[in-house]
Structure 1
């Protein structure tokens, strides 16, 4: 649940508008970027816009829920919005220094799209009015959002990723593009009852003794599938001689998986103890499927482009003079 909510917060931050105004009125600010203020007013308005959209997705009770490390989702969200506004101000300043701009027509198109996206949100127009968020403010934010997009496109056009770069990445990260699967059978002697309550120490000792006997018999050459059919307490697979078919990593419990993927085809394992009991595993097949370079080339090119742009933005941020007004920030709900 926590991972889902965090993902929702970040998704809204990444795909919706954000920014800070150019108003020069002397008012409280939450941060300065190269002496350019992010006003407390603009910060509060951005919070209001984003909060309404998130509440429409996951409900208004999200803000008091635990986000970990002693923080609520309200705390986490407020911090993320401020960091995003700082980062975007850095990008905007860089874009303007390069003479990049956005047309009025583009802003009007984005504004129409924004209105279409939020028209079905309950009482959204009234919510904007209650938070003093005007159409002009939204358009200003959309202009900055569009300028950030233009800035990214400009950077990528000036710093194209070559196919050779993608091929080098593919070769250096070969395992990432391979899918390993194991085919195995097993015999399970349980150490828990049908309600997953642990058996007594005496019963567990008896289970171990039986499992060790079956292991010795299997290694001595007795038919594994017959032993599984007769003795295995994983009744679903026992009917098929213990056959589990092919499976990838992440499907079985960790100790079982680690053993199965470490074995060679035809090998029979030592006893493997999990929360279910004692397993005897026999690997009956292994296969590795590799994605050809051409099938993943575009994905790699995109990944490298994103990585380079992220590094560029981080470098801009590192070189910027950033001052946070913690007192003003902490006073907000």
Structure 2
């Protein structure tokens, strides 16, 4: 299987649903048109809408989709100089193939899930471009609603694509022998090189919150619950107005979850104890207090909405947390206690406390971070630290967990190096597994292209596609 530039895979594909059922491949014969209003008919009596450059199953790709994809790349500050129209068309067609097959396999993506993603996407574009009006003009739409309509279809098809790809590779596994064979293929300069890495640990000190402030939040959440249950108020609207969870507030507090979803235990236990349509009492977690509403139960999957409120922290409590952090740092620097021991006994962060404060890389589920891929807020705090050195207390204001003070240290540094089978087995295994997954997807794509209705316009027939779209 040929591969196009990895930049292209960052793009979300626009999709427009059409009825085009068939099980054969053919090339669209170009029909000349002067205006969009004309709808010429090809020799097989199929209508070709002006601007359609490809059809995959029940989906079409418009020439304007490629233009729009270029603008999306630019909006995300991704270089487009070396990305060709053929590459983008090939990527868009791949996405349509996945989305088409996902529908055939009855994969479901809820509107609420799409709206949540769309809200985040619009917020990102507005931040990059400057305003909603500029964003609408940038994407050459007449109104925000028309842009949202196209974004909705695009995101829904993207999520169908993601779920279809996940289904394809979920069963792919790799054995130690396959890893060994994979690595043995590399010789000399071809052996992978892994970049410089570091391990980072932190101690988090949260300010004490008074019982009075906690009760204020509990009472307010109970008021909201009663308003919904007794007066028929909208939980969605209440979440939009009052929730302090930035990840779900704009979409009415919506999340889709299973037992494996990485939510805190208290939240999951409460959600799965509720009946459909039931609202919990206020639930305390490390992030604050939640009202949890189970909107829909789908077997082992829940559609939930929640409202998060955080008790207010006084300046006195915040100052006390800083002083506590300073004293802990002093003990570490003086050699009275190690950083790891202090993290286990003093840190208020559950996720890192038991590991001596070590941060987990969410991409690899290991403790090593590539320097070039460290989150910016962490990099700025630790980039100049010597191994074993401890920062002064750093004020952190997390939108989800509130204000706290943290101490950070670099526990280990690893220089850039050529892959070593014994030392880097996990990374090599990941590379080998990814190659096997790519091969599985390539095999699946080749099979599905043969049995799916595909058309490619004459002007794109000469493209060097990654897949065999043109026979």
After TM superposition, the score normalised by the length of structure 2 is 0.36
When Rg is computed on C-alpha atoms for both structures, the one with the higher figure is 1
| Structure richer in helix, relative to its length | 1
